[in-house]
């Protein structure tokens, strides 16, 4: 797939079947495409998380894709990073990234937590329009112990849409999550796209 995949309709609601098909097609060129656009969110998220947990703490990279987010976590100093994704094609590349101590395929709406407990679950570019739905927050909260951290991003189209933020507000109001950190910055800067990175604690 070419750079053309990074156009606005990538960030639109779609079914799990369509999402899997997009990532199956994109897996081989994903890294080149997003790196060429300056993909910055994984590094911003990993560096922010370092201010909240120790480098040796176990982390799950949820929606790890080809492993770019795991590489960012490793570069930030984290030493025990597990990864999971629903796309076998993306996972094939993650295997070659060589940064995960455990790696497995999961089904939408569930994660196998037999390898936990996790100090944090990271979802870089995953819970957003065109990928995992906002209900994914419930799955991730259920997989974390009280006090565990959820580190995730909302890109600009997702922020503009507002439905993911509305869902997050509901979780905060219900007392399930407390936001510790939130900042806007570059996501795909060569596409003039930013993202919010957010770190929240399970309460
Ligand atoms: C934009 S990529 C981000 C990959 C990686 N985190 C990164 O930063 O490069 C989105 C990933 O989310 C995965 N994904 C989409 N829907 C998902 C779901 N419901 N549950 C888990 N992963 C999902 C896709 O397979 C894809 O690998």
127 lines ligand 1 (CB under 6 A): no
Nearest one of 165, 163, 180, 169 to 52, comparing CA atoms: 180
Q: How far is the CA of 54 from the centre of ligand 1 (A)?
A: 25
User: Measured in whole angstroms, how far is the alpha carbon of residue 157 from the centre of its chain?
Assistant: 15
User: Which residues, 6 or more positions from 9, have their beta carbon under 8 angstroms from its beta carbon?
Assistant: none
DSSP H helices in 62-155 = 68-75, 88-97, 136-142
Q: How far is the CA of 63 from the centre of ligand 1 (A)?
A: 4
97 lines ligand 1 (CB under 6 A): no
**pLDDT tens digits, 42-60:** 999 999 999 999 999 999 9
Q: How far apart are CA 40 and CA 57, in angstroms?
A: 23
Q: Which pLDDT band holds residue 4 (cuts at 50, 70, 90)?
A: low
Structural domains for the chain: 3-202 (3.40.50.150)
Q: Which pLDDT band holds residue 2 (cuts at 50, 70, 90)?
A: very low
65 lines ligand 1 (CB under 6 A): yes
Q: Which pLDDT band holds residue 7 (cuts at 50, 70, 90)?
A: low
Q: How far is the CA of 146 from the centre of ligand 1 (A)?
A: 25
Q: How far apart are CA 45 and CA 94, in angstroms?
A: 18
Q: How far is the CA of 193 from the centre of ligand 1 (A)?
A: 18
Atom 4 (ligand 1) nearest CA: 65
């Amino acid at each position: 797939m070419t750079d053309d995949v990074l156009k606005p309709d990538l960030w639109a609601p779609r079914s799990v079947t369509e999402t899997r098909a997009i990532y199956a097609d994109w897996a081989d060129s994903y890294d080149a495409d997003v790196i060429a656009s300056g993909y910055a969110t994984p590094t911003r998220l990993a560096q922010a998380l370092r201010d909240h947990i120790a480098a040796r703490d176990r982390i799950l990279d949820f929606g790890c894709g080809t492993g770019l987010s795991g590489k960012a976590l490793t570069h930030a100093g984290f030493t025990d990073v597990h990864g999971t994704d629903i796309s076998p094609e993306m996972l094939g590349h993650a295997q070659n990234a060589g940064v995960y101590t455990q790696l497995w395929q999961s089904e939408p709406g569930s994660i196998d937590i037999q390898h936990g407990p996790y100090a944090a679950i990271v979802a870089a570019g995953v819970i957003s329009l065109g990928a995992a739905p906002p209900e994914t927050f419930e799955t991730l909260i259920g997989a974390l112990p009280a006090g565990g951290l959820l580190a995730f991003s909302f890109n600009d189209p997702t922020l503009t849409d507002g439905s993911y933020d509305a869902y997050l507000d509901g979780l905060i109001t219900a007392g399930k999550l407390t936001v510790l950190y939130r900042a806007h910055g570059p996501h795909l800067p060569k596409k003039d796209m930013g993202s919010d990175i957010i770190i929240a604690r399970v309460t």
